[in-house]
Amino acid sequence: MSDTDDFREATARVLDREEVEGVLSGSFYQPAPAREKPPRKADKASHYKVICISMYLEDLGRLDAMVEDLKARGLTKANRSALIRFALDEVDLDKVPKGL
């Protein structure tokens, strides 16, 4: 008996022919179950929008300094948005320069 015959005989004892054929044909593995869609997120908030604005670095620095000053005064929830909203409430359109 040759080495090749010994190998085939040993392989036949270890491997199940149907199992090997199933793996080779692709029928051995079950397809992954269909994924369910993730639960839908709650509707987005309708009372605000996230926006993007450009600001000069100097103006942004002033805004951040004001926020830090407010926080130092104990207004721990002060932030850029809150300060801008406050400024909007205080602006007098009649005092806005024409060249703006």
8 — pLDDT class (breaks 50, 70, 90): confident
pLDDT at 67: 97
31 contacts 47 by C-beta, under 8 angstroms: no
As a whole number of angstroms, the distance between CA 97 and CA 86 comes to 20
pLDDT at 29: 63
Q: Report the residue count for the chain.
A: 100
Contact residues for 70 (Cβ-Cβ < 8 A; gap 6+) = 78, 83
Q: Contacts for 52-56 with beta carbons within 8 Å, 24 or more apart?
A: none
Q: Model-level pTM greater than 0.75?
A: no
pLDDT at 33: 77
Q: What tens digit of pLDDT does each residue of 28-73 get? A: 566 777 888 877 777 778 888 989 999 999 999 999 999 999 999 9
pLDDT at 61: 97
